[in-house]
A and B are shown apart, each in its own frame.
Chain A
Amino acid sequence: MNRFVPLALVAALVPALAVAGPAEDKGLEIAKEADRRDTGFGDTTADMIMILRNKRGQESKREIEIRTLEVKGDGDKSLTVFHSPRDVRGTALLTYSHGVAPDDQWLYLPALRRVKRIASNNKSGPFMGSEFAYEDLSSQEVEKYKYKYIKDDEIADVACFLIERYPVDKDSGYTKQQVWLDKDEYRARKIDYYDRKGQLLKTFTPTEYKQFLGKYWRAHKMMMVNHQNGKSTELIWSNFKFKNGLKDSDFTRTRLTQVL
């Protein structure tokens, strides 16, 4: 087949071997603590501007509105609505995420007024031509990964835990992610993504964290740099609103056709 197969096999075995040891336990504890600190937010709405840049510095912009509903005992529900580019205005994506089980996703195409269930195994595909894969933007449930604590580290003089996490899903585009979480608030400060061949693929850097309801931290700027193709995608977030009183009935296939 190809010469990467043995390497890919080794990489695939790594998570299998990484079970129960002090480093694994500590990694999982850190991930659980980060998750615990972000539970109870109820629901959020936010606006996002996505700026795509290619190697030559050409830019392309997308405007996206995101509504999220926290679901107890399951993955979150989310509604993603496109405002621009204007040819996809009103296109909306409804996602019921389910931790390890495949997500349910419906796409609404306003020109045809059609709601279409889409395949759920497209984890590693690019989201709207950006450097973010679908799995990078999906609900980050603890059980989606196996963990390992590596060491204490610093990012820009901020004390961090460095943990590695290994995706459980076989459709993931990654073998490994290195995550730096600051010790103060367990916020991600940097994530390095390693591709299926074990090579460094992308670096994610969230900045401009702001706190909401005295508890929840949200980065208002995120940068994803692809080291292999020289492209990057920047997300600029605004209008974060919490506890809007959103309900299950705001995240149905019926409502998907009524958002815009």
Chain B
Amino acid sequence: MPASLASWLLTALLCLGGATRASAQETPAERMEEADEKVRELQEPAPEGVELELTSPETTKDEAEWKDAEEPAAEEAPAEEEPEEERETFGDRFKRGDLFGFFDVQGRFFPQPALPPAPGAPVLNDYWFNGSLAWEPGFFMNVTDYMNFELILFGRVDQHDRNRTHGDIREAFFELFFNEWTFGFGVHKVFWGVTESRHLVDIINQTDLVEDFDTDIKLGQAMITTSYTSEKAGTFSLFVMSWERPLVFPGPFGRPTLPIPVDNDIRIYESRLKQGQISTAFRWSYAVAGLDLGLSYFFGTARDPQLFLTTTGAGVPVFQPVYALIHQGGLDAQYTIEGWLLKVESIVRGGQGPTFGAITGGFEYTFFQANGSVVDVGVILEYNYDGRDNNTFILFNNDFFTGMRLTLNDVGSTEFLIGAFIDTEDGTVFIAAEAARRFGENWKILLEGRGYIPQGDNVLEFFRNDSQIQVDIEFRY
């Protein structure tokens, strides 16, 4: 890392550190005195910036007598004489509309030189640094007591990869709720599932793969949805979706990227309606005692396309994506007992080559306040099996994931997560480590390292030299 960059980072860190307010050293006694003073201040009539909002004068009365006994200062200002005005606090923010979101400054560092996509071919993504900027503005409003509206947009500008310079409507969703019923329409995100290493059952939204290879980030999906929730019978949800989004892979200048580009302009849909196909999904979820259970069914256009090798008119090899119509049944379950979370997800899918099944299962155990400290240590072990043999791009089909989560429970909500996928067939390892901490009220720094250790002819061989370190500095408002 060049010295100028390092010093810039250091300066940034120091500035952030300065954002948390520090005062001179105080003894506990002084602090208590200060606290007492504050109590007295609070009991003065209607001090600026202190909420003393009460529901209504008729239903509320202050007990001045008791206060007098506690604090002589209160005698001068009996609380009953306070003007009882309605004060708006942060809790009312969502009623008049809450603006929120984040800015992200991201740097990705690649210590190794990029490999050519084919022997002798030119290397288009051989850089050691990639910078990018993102903004995700959001707006939420509780329009009435039974209707919400949420709008979340997203945009990223990337230094090298034109595919990664992208925008999306994450949410543009009206939601109405009447007792047990909800109705929603617009662009929305929905998550199903329980496991950590892979999200098999989750199928409503397309993955924002250029944002991150970890498949956690999703694109918005246009839908109409309704659900009914009852304590005895669980939740029944129905989704009717259209305008499915294609999966966008990193371009030839992206890193990491596939050695042969995926050409979305020549994508094929099985449905004659192409992107106009209506996909439907149904889910039932239920919770009883320690058990959370979900059953789901999806029929419609696949989110993960099959990729077939072809050539462009100029004879350049490209992958042609094919979006089949699929049926998918899914099951997800978690049993929670004390510090144990036992999890399983499984799917059966037809319509994309031979019908296949896939399963992810394992456990997470948390040692709360490990070793007498306030630190929580969680260990995760999961096994992934995927029986597909159909040209869809998946990294692991028979592998273990093992991970550890450290939660410091400090003011900055510092968290560490380290995990590794180990392929049981050839011993290929993919390892990732993350750290995140908040600074002050609005800043957040995330650090992530990823390493690829491929063996044999594993698909990760393409990424052998693409190990990376990523730094994100976020301003959240």
- Convert A236-259 into 0s and 1s, putting 1 for each residue whose CB lies closer than 8 angstroms to a CB of B: 101111100001110011110010
Does A56 sit within 8 A of B, measured CB to CB?
yes
* Residues of A with C-beta under 8 A to B43: 208
- Indicate which residue in A85, A120, A207 contacts B438 across the interface (CB closer than 8 Å): A85
Identity of the chain B residue whose Cβ is nearest the Cβ of A114 in the assembled complex: B191
- Indicate which residue in B42, B70, B229, B289 contacts A249 across the interface (CB closer than 8 Å): B229
Task: Please determine whether A60 and B411 come into contact, CB atoms closer than 8 angstroms.
Answer: yes
Does B4 sit within 8 A of A, measured CB to CB?
no
Contact of A86 with B477 at beta-carbon distance under 8 Å, contacts A56-B25, A220-B52, A230-B28 already known: yes
- Indicate which residue in B67, B87, B193, B374 contacts A125 across the interface (CB closer than 8 Å): B374
Task: Please determine whether B100 and A89 come into contact, CB atoms closer than 8 angstroms.
Answer: yes
Task: Please determine whether A125 and B55 come into contact, CB atoms closer than 8 angstroms.
Answer: no
Complex interface residues of chain B between 167 and 184 (CB less than 8 A to chain A): 175, 177, 179-180, 182
* Residues of A with C-beta under 8 A to B32: 225
Does B93 sit within 8 A of A, measured CB to CB?
yes
- B55, B227, B374, most chain A CB atoms within 10 A: B55
Interface size class of A (residues with CB under 8 A): 35 or more
Task: Please determine whether A117 and B341 come into contact, CB atoms closer than 8 angstroms.
Answer: yes
Task: Please determine whether A112 and B191 come into contact, CB atoms closer than 8 angstroms.
Answer: yes
Identity of the chain B residue whose Cβ is nearest the Cβ of A214 in the assembled complex: B59
Quote the shortest CB–CB distance from A50 to chain B (angstroms). 11
Task: Please determine whether A238 and B55 come into contact, CB atoms closer than 8 angstroms.
Answer: no
> A46-B91, A90-B140, A120-B338 provided; 12 other pairs, C-beta below 8 A?
A57-B22, A57-B23, A87-B413, A113-B191, A121-B338, A121-B368, A124-B369, A129-B411, A211-B60, A225-B32, A249-B179, A254-B235
Task: Please determine whether B21 and A58 come into contact, CB atoms closer than 8 angstroms.
Answer: yes
Task: Please determine whether B70 and A239 come into contact, CB atoms closer than 8 angstroms.
Answer: no
* Residues of A with C-beta under 8 A to B340: 119
A82 vs B237: C-alpha distance when bound (angstroms): 26
Task: Please determine whether B51 and A239 come into contact, CB atoms closer than 8 angstroms.
Answer: yes
Interface residues of B (CB under 8 A from A): 20-26, 28, 31-32, 35, 39, 42-43, 50-55, 59-63, 66-67, 69-71, 79, 87, 89-94, 98, 100, 102, 140, 148, 175, 177, 179-180, 182, 189-191, 193-194, 216, 218, 227, 229, 231, 235, 285, 287, 289-290, 292, 334, 336, 338-341, 366, 368-369, 374, 376, 409-413, 438, 441-442, 444, 474, 476-477
Does A24 sit within 8 A of B, measured CB to CB?
no
Task: Please determine whether B55 and A89 come into contact, CB atoms closer than 8 angstroms.
Answer: no
Task: Please determine whether A120 and B336 come into contact, CB atoms closer than 8 angstroms.
Answer: yes
Task: Please determine whether B98 and A122 come into contact, CB atoms closer than 8 angstroms.
Answer: no
Task: Please determine whether B70 and A156 come into contact, CB atoms closer than 8 angstroms.
Answer: yes
A156 vs B98: C-alpha distance when bound (angstroms): 43
Identity of the chain B residue whose Cβ is nearest the Cβ of A53 in the assembled complex: B31
* Residues of B with C-beta under 8 A to A209: 63, 66
Task: Please determine whether B70 and A158 come into contact, CB atoms closer than 8 angstroms.
Answer: yes
* Residues of A with C-beta under 8 A to B376: 122, 125
- Indicate which residue in A84, A129, A220, A240 contacts B441 across the interface (CB closer than 8 Å): A84
Task: Please determine whether B69 and A156 come into contact, CB atoms closer than 8 angstroms.
Answer: yes
Task: Please determine whether A253 and B287 come into contact, CB atoms closer than 8 angstroms.
Answer: yes
Quote the shortest CB–CB distance from A122 to chain B (angstroms). 5
Complex interface residues of chain A between 52 and 71 (CB less than 8 A to chain B): 52-54, 56-61, 63, 65
Task: Please determine whether B70 and A260 come into contact, CB atoms closer than 8 angstroms.
Answer: no
A134 vs B338: C-alpha distance when bound (angstroms): 15
Identity of the chain B residue whose Cβ is nearest the Cβ of A154 in the assembled complex: B69
Contact of A253 with B42 at beta-carbon distance under 8 Å, contacts A87-B476, A122-B376, A126-B374 already known: no
Task: Please determine whether B368 and A232 come into contact, CB atoms closer than 8 angstroms.
Answer: no
A156 vs B175: C-alpha distance when bound (angstroms): 51
Does A47 sit within 8 A of B, measured CB to CB?
yes
14 examples of A-B residue contacts, CB within 8 angstroms: A57-B23, A58-B22, A60-B441, A87-B438, A112-B216, A117-B194, A126-B374, A158-B69, A182-B66, A217-B63, A225-B32, A238-B87, A254-B227, A258-B175
Identity of the chain B residue whose Cβ is nearest the Cβ of A96 in the assembled complex: B287
A208 vs B43: C-alpha distance when bound (angstroms): 8
A121 vs B22: C-alpha distance when bound (angstroms): 35
Quote the shortest CB–CB distance from A235 to chain B (angstroms). 12
Task: Please determine whether A157 and B60 come into contact, CB atoms closer than 8 angstroms.
Answer: no
Identity of the chain A residue whose Cβ is nearest the Cβ of B378 in the assembled complex: A119
Contact of A260 with B413 at beta-carbon distance under 8 Å, contacts A57-B26, A87-B444, A223-B35 already known: no
Task: Please determine whether B190 and A113 come into contact, CB atoms closer than 8 angstroms.
Answer: yes
Does A32 sit within 8 A of B, measured CB to CB?
no
Identity of the chain B residue whose Cβ is nearest the Cβ of A241 in the assembled complex: B55
* Residues of B with C-beta under 8 A to A236: 50-51
Task: Please determine whether A184 and B441 come into contact, CB atoms closer than 8 angstroms.
Answer: no
